[in-house]
Homo-oligomer: A and B are copies of this chain.
């Protein structure tokens, strides 16, 4: 009562290559191998294949499927774990979709404006009125002048660092790091140093003042335009909390 590899492949609408692959991984060994090397499968193989295909449709990886089938993992637990992963992936996609849409919008609105540089402006110049309201017109004028005085290379390098910082903050928030931990505080230090370079920031030279630093931290949470650079609301809150801790310790 056994079938050839092609019989089984046709039954399951898959390929012999796939069955051989599963055989190589030990997921679905042939029930019998002829003296000529031909693989044969019996009814138990079919049941096992049925389960493999089910789990694969759910998106589980082959090693995970192996663990479930080998009783080394509770199926229920494996599925729950997998579900968490799927939800995370979905969130990632949602964020990417939002970003792509925003980028398309920006491109269409400012088509001819962007000659060489993708996006001009940065945290401060981009949000003029907010900065002026908080720290006065002088602060804005100073940082704006500083920005304009930079060469293209300097501007680009600056933006590169800005993006890198934002990405690292985001990664830290996702990894759920402790805000008082070493890594998160190192990021806060980078944030401090980064602000250090911007004239118009109260206390520059010695570095931003405690008040300014804390005010900026709150701004990240309060204004969604800022939050976008730090991984959304949740990310911004993580950034703020780490910055607050940093300020209390060092400023």
A76 and B11 form a contact (CB under 8 A): no
Chain B residue numbers with a CB within 8 Å of A107 are 75-76, 79
Chain B residue numbers with a CB within 8 Å of A101 are 83
Complex interface residues of chain A between 72 and 103 (CB less than 8 A to chain B) = 75-76, 79-80, 82-83, 86-87, 89-90, 93-94, 96-97, 99-101, 103
Judged by DSSP, the binding face of A is: helix
Let me know if A25 is at the binding interface, CB within 8 A.
no
**Chain A 147-162: CB-based contact to B (< 8 A → 1; otherwise 0):** 0000111001101110
Choose, from A42-50, A177-185, A197-205, the stretch at the interface.
A42-50
Question: A100 and B59 in contact (CB under 8 A), knowing A11-B160, A167-B13?
Answer: yes
Chain B residue numbers with a CB within 8 Å of A80 are 104
A46 and B97 form a contact (CB under 8 A): no
Interface size on A, residues (CB 8 A): 54
Chain B residue numbers with a CB within 8 Å of A51 are 118
Chain B residue numbers with a CB within 8 Å of A206 are none
- Select one of B53, B100, B118 contacting A83, CB under 8 A: B100
Let me know if A117 is at the binding interface, CB within 8 A.
yes
- Select one of B1, B50, B96, B159 contacting A118, CB under 8 A: B50
Bound together, the chains give a CA A100 to CA B75 distance in angstroms of: 11
Instruction: Report the nearest B residue to A111, measured CB to CB.
Output: B76
Chain B residue numbers with a CB within 8 Å of A46 are 153, 156-157, 160
Chain B residue numbers with a CB within 8 Å of A116 are 47
Binding site for B on A (CB under 8 A): 1, 11-14, 42-43, 46-47, 49-51, 53-54, 57-59, 75-76, 79-80, 82-83, 86-87, 89-90, 93-94, 96-97, 99-101, 103-104, 107-108, 116-118, 151-153, 156-157, 159-161, 163-165, 167-168
